[in-house]
């Protein structure tokens, strides 16, 4: 009798082992849950607030608030589907709006693709792709600045020059040892366009369009304004890019950036000087942060009202691209300055999240 029970037990164990092998645990459950709109169509599935169990009575106050703050486009995606899509202050779904510094995230992502394809390594000296004399530094000082330094705002270049956006050699002056100081230096960022172009041996815009923009159905264009290069697109294009990053660089089943180590580094604290900064991405949930135009360190989280795992592209005049993996949310805000005229993070982030929480909680 004991022998028969033992054999029965072995059969049961064997059955469950086989079942487990036939149905392995999905290592990327978001992949199965997320919806991706087609890349060649304006069709985009929606989801109602009621179906999600959100607080429907909080929607109109939220929309009234964003309108009062100069917002021109506001989108909330849940699991990739549009839950809220609002336009106002003279703009509509077709309007092309400036990303401002939120577009830095596009450059960080494109740099990762160039590394993935073997054109560069972010630990390489930027002079390898810019050539000698791209700055007013000595050859040894130029050699010490890596692509990683440009991505993390730690080049050590003088940020007190009269035009912080300037990319002429005479504007790039030695101030600190590379990697020893964090400052939001637009010129040092903008020249990443030239670094990538030098690495891939074609112009940045063409490479970006081919490897990223067209792959996920974005529209828009890079427009030069003096030294600075601004990206303009409709709000749905920003939402597409947010959705791509929510799924860690994969669009539907197609890997756009499949270098998981780069993606993780891009969206994590990149250095100890500003814990709320990755590779041109802003990070919430850290115990301190620094802001553009300032050398001060502030204690506390970047956006206290927002989830700790939020990552963001933040631009001048309150352009906002929020990605929250724990909630499968992408939230887009484009428009005019909401009150402080700052380059990236502002108090509007926290105020806006106070209103968003009334809806989603």
pLDDT at 361: 85
Residues 217/243, Cβ–Cβ less than 8 Å: no
Exposure string of 195-207, with b = 16+ CB inside 10 Å and e = fewer, is: bbbbbbeeebeeb
pLDDT at 341: 83
Cα-flanking dihedrals φ and ψ of residue 277, to 5°? -135, 130
pLDDT at 150: 98
Does residue 118 come out as left (phi exceeding 0), alpha (psi in the -120 to 50 range) or beta?
A: left
Q: What is the pTM of this model?
A: 0.91
The residue among 207, 246, 204, 205 whose CA lies nearest residue 331 is: 246
Q: Write the CB contacts of 17 (distance below 8 Å, at least 6 apart in sequence).
A: none
Which pairing describes strands 250-251 and 254-255: parallel, antiparallel, or unpaired?
antiparallel
Q: Write the CB contacts of 214 (distance below 8 Å, at least 6 apart in sequence).
A: 39
Please indicate, yes or no, if residue 7 is contained in any of the structural domains. no
Q: Give CA–CA dist 334/74, Å, rounded.
A: 7
- Number of separate domains in the chain: 1
Please indicate, yes or no, if residue 46 is contained in any of the structural domains. yes
Please indicate, yes or no, if residue 187 is contained in any of the structural domains. no
The residue among 119, 172, 117, 166 whose CA lies nearest residue 149 is: 172
Q: Give CA–CA dist 169/340, Å, rounded.
A: 32
Both tokens of 359, joined, read 């809806």
The residue among 113, 136, 349, 128 whose CA lies nearest residue 244 is: 113
Please indicate, yes or no, if residue 316 is contained in any of the structural domains. yes
Strand partners, 86: 74
The C-alpha R_g of the chain, in whole angstroms, comes to 23
Residue 75: domain span: 29-96+233-361
Q: Is 311 exposed, middle or buried (0-12, 13-18, 19+ CB in 10 A)?
A: buried
pLDDT at 29: 42
Please indicate, yes or no, if residue 203 is contained in any of the structural domains. no
Residues 98/232, Cβ–Cβ less than 8 Å: yes
Please indicate, yes or no, if residue 297 is contained in any of the structural domains. yes
Please indicate, yes or no, if residue 19 is contained in any of the structural domains. no
For residue 5, what is the enclosing H or E element? helix 2-22
Q: Give CA–CA dist 133/310, Å, rounded.
A: 39
Does residue 143 come out as left (phi exceeding 0), alpha (psi in the -120 to 50 range) or beta?
A: alpha
Q: Give CA–CA dist 191/166, Å, rounded.
A: 9
Residues 216/257, Cβ–Cβ less than 8 Å: no
Q: State the 10-residue block means of pLDDT for the chain, 361 residues long.
A: 39 37 40 86 96 98 98 98 98 98 98 98 98 96 98 97 97 98 98 98 98 98 96 98 98 97 98 98 98 95 98 98 98 96 93 98 85
Cα-flanking dihedrals φ and ψ of residue 181, to 5°? -150, 140
Where do the H-state alpha helices sit in the chain?
2-22, 29-33, 49-52, 59-68, 104-116, 127-130, 139-144, 147-152, 186-190, 192-200, 204-208, 235-246, 260-266, 347-360
Please indicate, yes or no, if residue 301 is contained in any of the structural domains. yes
Residue 258's CATH number: 3.40.710.10
**Cα angle vertex 205, ends 267, 108, to 5°?**
10
Strand partners, 62: none
């Amino acid at each position: 009798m004991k022998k028969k029970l033992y054999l029965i037990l072995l059969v049961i164990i064997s059955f469950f082992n086989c079942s487990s092998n036939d149905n392995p645990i999905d290592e990327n459950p978001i992949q199965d849950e997320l919806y991706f709109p087609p890349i060649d169509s304006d069709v985009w599935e929606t989801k109602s607030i009621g179906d999600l169990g959100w607080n429907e009575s909080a929607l109109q106050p939220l929309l009234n608030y964003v309108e009062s703050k100069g917002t021109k486009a506001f989108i909330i995606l849940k699991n990739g589907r549009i839950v809220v899509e609002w336009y106002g202050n003279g703009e509509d779904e077709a309007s092309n709006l400036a990303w401002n510094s939120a577009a830095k995230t596009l450059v960080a992502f494109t740099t990762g693709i160039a590394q993935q394809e073997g054109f560069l390594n972010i630990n390489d000296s930027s002079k390898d792709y810019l050539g000698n004399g791209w700055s007013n530094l000595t050859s040894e000082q130029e050699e010490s600045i890596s692509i990683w330094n440009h991505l993390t705002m730690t080049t050590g270049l003088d940020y007190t020059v009269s035009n912080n956006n300037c990319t002429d050699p005479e504007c790039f002056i030695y101030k600190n040892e590379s990697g020893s100081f964090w400052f939001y230096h637009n010129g040092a960022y903008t020249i990443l366009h030239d670094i990538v172009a030098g690495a891939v041996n074609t112009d940045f815009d063409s490479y970006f369009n081919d490897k990223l923009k067209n792959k996920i159905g974005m529209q828009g264009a890079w427009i030069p304004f003096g030294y600075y290069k601004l990206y303009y697109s409709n709000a749905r294009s920003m939402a597409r890019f947010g959705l791509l990053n929510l799924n860690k660089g994969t669009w539907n089943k197609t890997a756009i950036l499949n270098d998981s180590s780069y993606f993780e580094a891009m969206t994590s604290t990149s250095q100890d000087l500003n814990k709320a900064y990755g590779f041109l991405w802003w990070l919430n949930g850290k115990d301190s942060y620094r802001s553009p135009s300032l050398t001060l360190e502030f204690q506390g989280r970047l956006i206290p009202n927002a989830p700790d795992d939020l990552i963001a592209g933040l631009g001048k005049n309150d352009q906002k691209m929020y990605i929250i993996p724990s909630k499968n949310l992408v939230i887009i805000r484009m428009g005019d300055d909401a009150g402080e005229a700052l380059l990236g993070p502002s108090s509007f982030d926290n105020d806006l999240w106070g209103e968003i929480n009334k809806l989603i909680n």
